[in-house]
Structure 1
Amino acid sequence: MKKIAVLLSILLIFGIIACNKNWVTEQFEHFVSFKAPLSSNNVTPIYVRYKPDGVVNYQLPVIVSGTTNNENDLQVQVGVDSDTLKAFNDANFQNRKDLYYKELTSQYFTIPNTVAIPKGINASTMNISFSLKDIDLVDKWILPLTIKPSHDYTPNPRRNYSKALLRIIPFNDYSGVYSGTALKLYLKGEENGAAIVKSEIQSYVVDESTVFFYAGAVDENKTDRRNYKVYARFNNQTKEVTLTSDNPSINFRVNQKIYYSIEDVKDAVQPYLIHRYVTINNIDYNFTDYTSVANASIDYTVRGSLIMERKINSQIPDEDQAIQW
Structure 2
Amino acid sequence: MKNIYVVILMLTVWSLCSCNNEWEDEQYRQLVSFKAEPNAQGVTAAYVRYKPEGKVRFNLPVVVSGSTPNVQDRTVRIGLDPDTLAYLNREQYGHRQELYFRQLEDKYYSMPQTINIPAGTSTVNVPIEFTLGDLDEADKWVLPLQILEDPAGDYQVNPHKHFRRAMLRVTPFNDYSGTYGGTLYKIFLDGDTQQPLTLNTHRTFVVDDQTIFLYAGIRDIDYIDRKNYKVFIKFTDEMIDIQKRKLEIWSDNVDNNKFKKGEAQSYYIIDEEWDPQLPYMKHIYITLYLSYEFEDYTTVPGQRLRYTVDGTLSMQRDINTLIPDEDQQIQW
TM-score by length of 1: 0.92
Q: CA deviation at 1:70?
A: 1.3
Alignment-derived partner of residue 47 in structure 1: 47
Alignment-derived partner of residue 286 in structure 2: 278
Q: CA deviation at 1:40?
A: 2.4
SS, match of residue 23 in structure 1? helix
Alignment-derived partner of residue 80 in structure 1: 80
Alignment-derived partner of residue 236 in structure 2: 235
SS, match of residue 236 in structure 1? strand
| Structure-to-structure mapping, 1:35-184, within 5 angstroms | 35-150=35-150, 151-184=153-186
Q: Match of 2:192, as an amino acid?
A: E
Q: Match of 2:48, as an amino acid?
A: V
Q: Match of 2:97, as an amino acid?
A: K
Q: CA deviation at 1:237?
A: 4.2
Q: CA deviation at 1:273?
A: 1.1
Q: CA deviation at 1:133?
A: 0.8
Q: Distance in 2 between matches of 1:236 and 1:113?
A: 44
SS, match of residue 183 in structure 2? coil
Q: Distance in 2 between matches of 1:280 and 1:253?
A: 17
SS, match of residue 40 in structure 2? coil
Aligned residue among 290, 304, 322 for 1:315: 322
> Which structure 1 residue ranges, 4+ long, deviate > 4 Å from structure 2?
none
Compute the RMSD of aligned alpha carbons. Answer: 1.6
Q: Distance in 1 between matches of 2:276 and 2:69?
A: 42
Q: CA deviation at 1:190?
A: 2.5
Q: Distance in 1 between matches of 2:238 and 2:282?
A: 23
Q: Which segment is superposed worse, 87-96 or 200-209?
A: 87-96
Gaps of 5+ in 2: 1-14, 240-244
Task: Please list the CA deviations of residues 131-163 of structure 1 after superposition, one character each: whole Å capped at 9, or x if unmatched.
Answer: 001100111110000111112111111111011
**C-alpha contact 2:41 2:92 (8 A) present in aligned 1:** no
Q: Distance in 1 between matches of 2:156 and 2:323?
A: 34
Residue 254 (str. 1) matches residue 261 (str. 2): yes
Task: Please list the CA deviations of residues 200-220 of structure 1 after superposition, one character each: whole Å capped at 9, or x if unmatched.
Answer: 010000111110100001111
Q: CA deviation at 1:259?
A: 1.2
Q: Distance in 1 between matches of 2:184 and 2:66?
A: 51
Task: Please list the CA deviations of residues 175-207 of structure 1 after superposition, one character each: whole Å capped at 9, or x if unmatched.
Answer: 00011111101112333x111111101000011
Alignment-derived partner of residue 271 in structure 2: 263
SS, match of residue 284 in structure 2? strand
Q: Match of 1:228, as an amino acid?
A: Y
**C-alpha contact 2:140 2:169 (8 A) present in aligned 1:** yes
**C-alpha contact 2:48 2:56 (8 A) present in aligned 1:** yes
Alignment-derived partner of residue 305 in structure 1: 312
Which structure: larger Rg?
Answer: 2
Task: Please list the CA deviations of residues 12-48 of structure 1 after superposition, one character each: whole Å capped at 9, or x if unmatched.
Answer: xx99xx7x82222211111100010122222111110
TM-score by length of 2: 0.90
Q: Match of 2:272, as an amino acid?
A: D
Q: Distance in 2 between matches of 1:200 and 1:220?
A: 12
Alignment-derived partner of residue 293 in structure 1: 300
Alignment-derived partner of residue 186 in structure 1: 188
Task: Please list the CA deviations of residues 103-153 of structure 1 after superposition, one character each: whole Å capped at 9, or x if unmatched.
Answer: 000011001011110011111110000000110011111000011111211
Q: Distance in 2 between matches of 1:273 and 1:175?
A: 19
SS, match of residue 232 in structure 1? strand
Q: Match of 1:215, as an amino acid?
A: A
Gaps of 5+ in 1: 1-13
**C-alpha contact 2:274 2:282 (8 A) present in aligned 1:** yes
Q: CA deviation at 1:294?
A: 2.0
**C-alpha contact 2:30 2:64 (8 A) present in aligned 1:** yes
Number of residue pairs aligned between Structure 1 and Structure 2: 308
Q: Distance in 2 between matches of 1:185 and 1:237?
A: 27
Q: Distance in 1 between matches of 2:319 and 2:24?
A: 41
Q: CA deviation at 1:279?
A: 0.9
Q: Distance in 2 between matches of 1:203 and 1:160?
A: 28
Identity %: 42
Q: Distance in 2 between matches of 1:265 and 1:189?
A: 41
Q: Distance in 1 between matches of 2:238 and 2:305?
A: 36
